[in-house]
Amino acid sequence: MVRYRTLSPKLGESGGKAPPKWGRGEREVGPLMLTGEVEHQLDDRGRVAVPRAFRDMMEHGGFVTRGWYGCLFLFPWEEWRKIEDRLNQVRITDMNGDVVKQFFSGGAKVFLDGQGRINLPAALREYAGIAGDVVVRGVINRIEIWGKERWVAYQQEQFSPERIVEKAAALGI
């Protein structure tokens, strides 16, 4: 993971001081972001290692739940609280909000153990087809956990060059 920080003063506000020295792999563009992809193995107790680069973001634990496309989402606790706050504002009569609440309802709070692993509940492992080889990906504000076979199939379906160009154009990139 590259740590993105906003540490330097705005142009003209440095008071003649030199800008801060950036550590290796750090640059100034915004808050900490989760990026990168690692393959791991699910152990016989249903635990998976969280990549070392992501562990700082999991200092207060996290929330693992169903994700889109058949993976699991692991949110750092602070990120999950933001989602939870928004879901709490949804009116009981809002059927779209109710569907989203139900989708996330099978999640669980998790903490890193001494070796940087989290326990994935059996129902979530089954939902995501996770058994054996696992792909753990940082996706800006969350971690995605995929069964490797499902991840490979998803990549082949979703990441064709034409599709990427189309989606980037739609975002103005």
The DSSP 8-state label assigned to residue 53 in this structure reads G
What is the tally of structural domains in the chain?
2
Q: pLDDT per residue over 87-128, tens digit each?
A: 888 888 888 888 888 888 889 999 999 999 999 999 999 999
Cα–Cα distance between 160 and 168 in angstroms, integer? 12
Sequence letter at residue 7? L
Residues 158 and 119 in one domain: yes
Q: Which domain holds residue 23?
A: 1-32
Cα–Cα distance between 31 and 10 in angstroms, integer? 16
Residues 44 and 62 in one domain: yes
Angle, to 10 degrees, between the axis of helix 95-104 and the axis of helix 77-88?
150
Residues 1 and 82 in one domain: no
Q: pLDDT per residue over 9-33, tens digit each?
A: 333 333 444 444 444 554 444 446 7
Residues 26 and 91 in one domain: no
Residues 26 and 85 in one domain: no
Residues 105 and 136 in one domain: yes
Smallest CA-to-CA distance from 137 within 125, 129, 148 is with 148
Residues 2 and 83 in one domain: no
Count CB atoms within 10 A of the CB of residue 17: 8
Residues 69 and 15 in one domain: no
Q: pLDDT per residue over 23-67, tens digit each?
A: 455 444 444 677 789 999 999 999 999 999 899 889 899 999 999
Which pLDDT score is estimated for 32?
A: 62
Residues 77 and 151 in one domain: yes
